[in-house]
Structures are given as structure tokens and as C-alpha cells.
Amino acid sequence: MTDLEILEGLGEIVEEIAGVPADEVTPNKSFVDDLDIDSLSMVEIAVAAQDKFGVEIPDNQLKDLTTVQDVVNFVAKNAGDSA
């Protein structure tokens, strides 16, 4: 999985769960401040990301993943471990 593929997949997830258009889900955006996504939606995004990428994002990691790029990096780094 390339970073771009993860970014595209994440965009689809965010659009489905939070109604934010996928093309607005760009690397430097903050979920809370720019995309207006709250803590419960972040959990839903984490669950959907697990289904899509096979990478578990635990609650205690979630609070550190503030930007779209943070999630892309986390998925890219951990995809090899669980694949």
C-alpha cells in the first residue's frame, strides 16, 4: 500500500462517516480543527480503517493522531506487521 492509496482510502472513510468530501481530506488537515470531526467519529474512522487496511488503531494511539498525515503514517508503518 502506498501513502497515496492509504490517503484515498482514508478520504472515502471520512466522507462516509463524517460527510466531509473526500477531496478535502488532505495530508496537513487536522481532524478536529479543520475537518470538524469529534472524538466519537474518530473511533468510527479507526474501526473503518481497521476493516479497510487491516491495521488496528487503539484508543490510546488515537489521541496522538491529530492530522490526516499522522493516520496515513500510522497505517503505513503498521500495515506490514499485521498483513
Q: Rule CB under 8 A: is residue 38 a binding residue for another protein? A: yes
Q: Rule CB under 8 A: is residue 39 a binding residue for another protein? A: yes
Q: Give me the DSSP letters along 3-66.
A: HHHHHHHHHHHHHHHH---GGG--TT-BTTTTT---HHHHHHHHHHHHHHHS----HHHHTT--
Q: Rule CB under 8 A: is residue 46 a binding residue for another protein? A: yes
Does residue 36 have an active-site annotation? no
Instruction: State the binding string over 3-32 for another protein (x if CB under 8 A, else -).
Output: ------------------------------
- How far is 13 from 11, CA to CA, in rounded Å? 5
Contact residues toward another protein (CB under 8 A) are 38-40, 42-44, 46-47, 59, 62
- Residues classed as catalytic: 38
